[in-house]
Each structure stands twice: as structure tokens, then as C-alpha cells.
Amino acid sequence: MAKFNLETPIKDIMANPAAREALTKVAPKLASNPMLTGMPMGLKQMAAFAGDKLPKDVLEKIESALSEVE
């Protein structure tokens, strides 16, 4: 099972250099948002509120990139 996925709290993704880099490669604007460093919800939950900013295809790319992080 992957260590990081779309349900991992965003603050945990941002705190891990490899996971943050994976997110940055796919969604650089999202990863550079300083508000995410303390975000307790996962990207899947966040997409429910900001679906226009996180469309399904972007979420799939993020999930793929995060699944490769060890």
C-alpha cells in the first residue's frame, strides 16, 4: 500500500520532502500555496470544495505521483 494518497492529510504531504516534490511536479501552483502546510484534510476532501481547481484528471496524476513516494 502506498504511503501517500489522496486521503493523506495535506499537511503530512507537505511535511515530507519527497511527497511535496511529487505534488509540486504535478500541481506546482497548489504545492506553493502556504495555506496547505497546516491543512488537515486530504486532497480528495479538498476537491469536494474546490473541484474546479482540482479536476479528476489532475487528482489522478497527483495520486499516481504520490503512490511512487516511499
pLDDT score, position 51:
65
Structural domain spans, the chain: 10-67
Average pLDDT over residues 10-36: 93
Is the per-residue pLDDT at 1 higher than 80? no
pTM score, whole prediction? 0.88
Kindly write down the DSSP assignment for every residue of 4-66, as one continuous string: --TTSBHHHHHHSHHHHHHHHHH-HHHHT-GGGGG--SBHHHHHHH-TTTS-HHHHHHHHHHH
Is the per-residue pLDDT at 2 higher than 90? no
pLDDT score, position 21:
96
